[in-house]
Structure 1
Amino acid sequence: MIRTRALRKTFRTRDKGLFGPRTVKTAVDGLDLEIPPGRVTGLLGLNGAGKTSTIKILATLLHPTSGTVTLDGLDVVEHARDARRRINLIAGGERMVYGKLTGAENLRYFGHLYDVPNPVLRPRIGELLELVGLTDAADTPVERYSRGMTQRLSIARGLINDPAYLLLDEPTLGLDAPIARDLRRVVASLAAEGRGVLLTSHYLTEVEELCEHVYVISGGRHLAAGSPAELKAATGSHRSVRVTVTNPSPRLESAVADFAGRLGVAAQLEATGEGALLVTVRHPEDVAGPLAGAIVAAGGSIGGLEVTEASLEDAVLALTDSAPAPARPRSAVAA
């Protein structure tokens, strides 16, 4: 398991050009995370929340200012070389392979960097190219690959050292939907093999599909953790029932208010400008049928009905909107 305790990272910056005052900015502020084997764990937050800094610390690309990171009990700062043999990083939108080399040559090159023995490396290259669907493009220079093909090769590169843990920072960024779907299947299969996967993504439907457990952070601080369903329930992110009433009667408003009152929720009524009324009720259970029945009993006619499931995006926005403002950068002299 990868485990962080009180993880903190600060940077010294200049806010007003080369000769401006130096300040200390906190990117990661006391994070406790656990990434176990055999599971895809999500790390979510708005831009600037500290996700990429956290992943770079876990990948040994940044040193934490304080706190600890252990990988199966091994301190990754004190034993960075050993830790790197058991982890790998894939970042979407970044060039992580060489365009002049072929797909197979890239994998061979990175395999040698990890000291993978040739008898192991040769069959592994073929297996990884098959896994990501690039067998037919093995001998094609990467500069002739599409973006989706390049990202699939990056996945294979990230597996060349057979890592126990894979860190994925926006792996499907900018990819077409079919390619992104194929990559999600690969990620799910990696967790099923027993690898621990940490995923950051702005595509929250992707996170809902893949992640059993999610951490939400803001300003480098922990806000909440749990399964996507638990986060939605904890923030009151419920499904929404939206009914179009074509001939609203005088009794409709009071009937809807009574119905919502019995459920302990609020109802929204909105005129459409075409003589119709939109009635919206948010509730954790499916109340479409009872709501429609209450409207008809009050003399209204149903012109349309739509049920929208609660989303992880609703939950994350609710959490980040209510989060305290991050601490202002402080003077480097005071630090």
Structure 2
Amino acid sequence: MLAIEADNLTRTFPIRTGGWLRARRSEVHAVRGISFEVPKGELFGLLGPNGAGKTTTIKMLNTLLLPTGGSARVLGHDVATEPVAVRRRIGYVFGGDRGLYDRLSALDNLRYFAELYGVEPREQRHRIAELLDLVGLSGREKERVEGYSRGMRQRLHIARGLLHRPEVLFLDEPSIGVDPVAARDLRRMVADLAAAGTTVLLTTHYMAEADELCDRIAVIAQGTLQALGTPAELKSVISGVGVLEIEACGIDDGRLSAVRGLPGVHSAAVRDDGRTQWLTVQSADGAADPEPDVRAALDGLRPGRTLRREPTLEDAYVAIVSRAGDETMEPAA
């Protein structure tokens, strides 16, 4: 039996624009016929730009949203007609500060959610202690959550999602806003969960995280599935491609479009590392060096350092999303 099955999954949202006298009703197509399968025990990544449909897809799979078309099953149970059976078997962890009670201790939070999840009273004490140890919060469990760091909150989120021993765990950007040390601990924890047999569906904007953790990855853009495969298979999409990075600040849409139109350039995107902007240009192997033309297109910005390197998963992601015509790429290193 498969852990997750999505068959032509679709979700539209009605919207209303204009004033009361000239109101117009239309639809936003958030997810447009996505299909994929996840075997039991797999760590499956779902990548895409903001607004691509990742969170909407997860919410349909975990019964928080009803599909407007297609179907989905989790461990053999239909998400639309058997939502209670699905909820008993899944856990959902999302990034951010929501979902915990700040004025309660971590211990009291877990006791409360254990009751909600139907954990047997005689098992609660042992299960909570086990999870606190798993997420590294033993000894801090009696402190109020309002005093926790972002990383500690995320670890508590994961403990909460595991209370009822779910067979499938949905992780929606669990490391967002977490410092590098805490993010490394979270990645180790997620890898251990998958190794122990839990099926994990992960969304993230951190390409290195997806490359390190995921067995297979699906890339979504504009509500449709653009690519599906192992990290190595996705990287093969840009085999034979050279990657040039130029440090620059203030790159506008006009200059970026000019770079994308240069001969031999496959794609170009801008990323911000927190200190400066980098223009990443992919060009065909064997083509003329694009650097002189790229620097000319950046005239007036005083471009700085230049780096050349082998393609990464982030480069493959950028190429796939660019091919889909999506201008809202936001990968992170």
Q: TM-score range by the shorter chain?
A: 0.7 to 0.9
1:53 maps to which of 50, 56, 59: 56
Q: What pairs with 1:1-335 in structure 2 (closer than 5 Å)?
A: 1-16=3-18, 20-236=23-239, 238=241, 240=243, 265-268=286-289, 270=291, 308-323=309-324
Displacement over 6 Å in runs of 4+: none
Is the contact between residue 97 and residue 153 of structure 2 (CA under 8 Å) also seen in structure 1? no
Secondary structure of the residue aligned to 1:35 is strand
Higher relative contact order (CA 8 A, sep 6+): 1
Paired letter, 2:322? D
Distance 1:311 1:20, change over 3 A: farther
Separation in 2 of the partners of 1:38 and 1:132? 20
Q: Quote how far apart the aligned CAs of 1:241 are.
A: 8.9
Distance 1:176 1:324, change over 3 A: closer
Is the contact between residue 9 and residue 66 of structure 1 (CA under 8 Å) also seen in structure 2? yes
Q: Quote how far apart the aligned CAs of 1:35 are.
A: 2.2
Q: Quote how far apart the aligned CAs of 1:143 are.
A: 1.1
CA shift digits 1:93-136 (9 cap, x unpaired): 14111111111111111111111101222111001001111011
Q: Quote how far apart the aligned CAs of 1:237 are.
A: 6.6
CA shift digits 1:279-306 (9 cap, x unpaired): xxxxxxxxxxxxxxxxxxxxxxxxxx97
Separation in 2 of the partners of 1:318 and 1:312? 10
**Equivalent position of 2:250 in the other structure:** none
* Structure of larger gyration radius: 1
Separation in 1 of the partners of 2:285 and 2:205? 33
Is the contact between residue 237 and residue 310 of structure 1 (CA under 8 Å) also seen in structure 2? no
Separation in 2 of the partners of 1:208 and 1:267? 30
Q: Percent identity?
A: 47
Separation in 1 of the partners of 2:162 and 2:134? 10
Separation in 2 of the partners of 1:9 and 1:31? 10
CA shift digits 1:39-80 (9 cap, x unpaired): 211111111100010011111100000111111211121111
* Unaligned runs of at least 5 residues, structure 2: 246-283, 293-305, 328-333
Secondary structure of the residue aligned to 2:112 is helix
* Unaligned runs of at least 5 residues, structure 1: 243-262, 272-304, 327-335
CA shift digits 1:232-291 (9 cap, x unpaired): 11233746599xxxxxxxxxxxxxxxxxxxx972241756xxxxxxxxxxxxxxxxxxxx
Structure 1 stretch displaced more, 229-238 or 217-226 = 229-238
State the number of aligned residues: 275
Q: Quote how far apart the aligned CAs of 1:4 are.
A: 0.7
